[in-house]
């Protein structure tokens, strides 16, 4: 009886089909399990590698189920047959994630669940032999800023003052604050004031727009010309910096001469018509006498 028990028990111990002892695994993101977060690209796409290891001596077929955050579209294999004592990498592609709809740094969980449906080509009779893996997906910081500069629509006379309107819009997914604002022109006789605190002193939330005015004065001896004015706004981040600019043309007219010589008039005296006639008669009489 003892010998019979040993013989019967041996095949049961050798069998490796139990869902409680599957001897296979799935890992998302890194074969060593060290990657904890994957960052979505600016175009809303991301590739997630999956590593499947089969320590069984026989082949197994695995069916996969996926869940992804941020309403991503998933393109990935539905199933995989992997040979015994081997490993294999497959790729999951996420797309159509809109980073602008989510705050920079937001995270969501990607999960893959694999279930063994057959061994060595034979369907599994007992369900439940499954493994799963998760990894965090992070939305990147996207800097999307626009500068819009508007100048006076009318011509500015030399010696007068006027203003520029500069608008700064934040269409990215992270709050921004400008580091520096510079104003320049190809007309050296234009003088700008440094009054733009709304741009450099305030933090812009996503979707916000800041508007500020910059005053300028045209020197009295500026000749008539079209001046090109440029506003440049610099942003500095921990890993990068970027400047954004816009330009506008300002038409300047030189000061009129009558304004320069105000109060000065020049006149010439001419003889009256009657006096002029008398002079002509006298000259004619003198000529007649000389001829006699």
Q: What is the CA radius of gyration of the chain?
A: 43
Which residues, 6 or more positions from 214, have their beta carbon under 8 angstroms from its beta carbon? 163, 164, 166, 183, 192, 193, 195, 196, 231
Same domain (yes/no): 132, 68? yes
Residue 68 lies in a domain: yes
Q: Are 229 and 151 in contact (CB under 8 A)?
A: yes
Strand partners of residue 66: 112
How many domains, in total, are found in the chain? 2
Residue 205 lies in a domain: yes
Same domain (yes/no): 133, 160? no
Domain final residue pick, 86, 118, 138:
138
Strand 145-150, strand 241-253: pairing: unpaired
Residue 269 lies in a domain: no
Same domain (yes/no): 195, 223? yes
CA dist., res. 46 & res. 52, Å (int): 19
Same domain (yes/no): 150, 242? yes
Report the CATH number that the domain containing residue 57 is assigned in CATH. Answer: 2.60.40.10
pLDDT at 284: 52
Same domain (yes/no): 126, 159? no
Same domain (yes/no): 226, 246? yes
Strand 86-95, strand 73-75: pairing: antiparallel
Residue/partner pairs of 8-13 with CB below 8 Å, 24 or more apart: none
Q: What is the DSSP letter of 176?
A: B
| Complete DSSP assignment for 230-241 | EEEEEEE-SS-E
Residue 17 lies in a domain: no
Angle (CA) 64-66-68 rounded to 5° is 165
Residue 8 lies in a domain: no
Residue 217 lies in a domain: yes
Tell me the residue range of the domain where 193 lies.
145-258
pLDDT at 36: 87
Same domain (yes/no): 128, 233? no
Same domain (yes/no): 133, 172? no
Angle (CA) 180-182-186 rounded to 5° is 165
For every one of its 292 residues, what pLDDT tens digit does the chain have, with 9 covering 90 and above?
Answer: 444 443 344 333 333 444 445 799 999 987 676 788 999 999 999 999 999 999 999 999 999 999 999 999 999 999 999 999 999 999 999 999 999 999 999 999 999 999 999 999 999 877 678 999 999 999 999 999 999 999 999 999 999 999 999 999 999 999 999 999 999 999 999 999 865 667 888 899 999 999 999 999 999 999 999 999 999 999 999 989 999 999 999 999 998 765 544 444 443 444 545 555 555 555 555 554 555 5
Same domain (yes/no): 122, 166? no
Q: Are 184 and 230 in contact (CB under 8 A)?
A: yes
Same domain (yes/no): 127, 154? no
pLDDT at 164: 93
Same domain (yes/no): 73, 163? no
pLDDT at 247: 97
CA dist., res. 65 & res. 266, Å (int): 98
CA dist., res. 24 & res. 54, Å (int): 4
pLDDT at 289: 55
Same domain (yes/no): 110, 167? no
- How far, CA to CA in Å, does 171 sit from each of 28, 100, 103, 145, 231? 33, 8, 12, 6, 19
């Amino acid at each position: 009886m003892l010998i019979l028990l040993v013989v019967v028990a041996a095949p049961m111990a050798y069998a490796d089909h139990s869902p409680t002892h599957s001897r296979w695994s799935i890992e998302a993101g890194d074969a060593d399990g060290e990657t904890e977060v994957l960052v979505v690209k600016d175009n809303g796409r991301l590739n997630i590698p999956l590593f499947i290891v089969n320590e069984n001596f026989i082949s197994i077929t695995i069916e996969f189920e996926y869940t992804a955050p941020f309403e991503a579209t998933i393109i990935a294999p539905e199933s995989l047959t992997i040979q015994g004592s081997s490993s294999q990498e497959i790729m999951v592609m996420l797309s159509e994630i809109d980073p602008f709809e989510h705050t920079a740094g937001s995270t969501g969980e990607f999960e893959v669940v694999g279930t063994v449906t057959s061994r060595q080509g034979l369907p599994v009779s007992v369900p439940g032999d499954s493994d799963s893996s998760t990894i965090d997906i992070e939305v990147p910081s996207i800097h999307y800023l626009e500068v819009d500069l508007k100048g006076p629509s009318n011509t500015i006379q030399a010696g007068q003052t006027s203003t520029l309107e500069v608008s700064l819009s934040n269409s990215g997914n992270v709050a921004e604050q400008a580091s520096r604002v510079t104003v320049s022109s190809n007309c050296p006789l234009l003088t700008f004031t440094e009054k733009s605190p709304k741009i450099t002193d305030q933090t812009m939330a996503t979707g916000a727009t800041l508007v500020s005015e910059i005053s300028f004065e045209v020197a009295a001896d500026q000749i008539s010309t079209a001046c090109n004015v440029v506003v440049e706004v610099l942003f500095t981040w921990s890993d990068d910096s970027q400047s954004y600019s816009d330009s506008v043309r300002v038409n300047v007219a030189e000061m009129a001469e009558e304004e320069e010589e105000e109060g000065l008039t020049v006149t010439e005296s001419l003889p009256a018509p009657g006096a002029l006639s008398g002079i002509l008669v006298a000259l004619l009489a003198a000529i007649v006498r000389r001829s006699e």
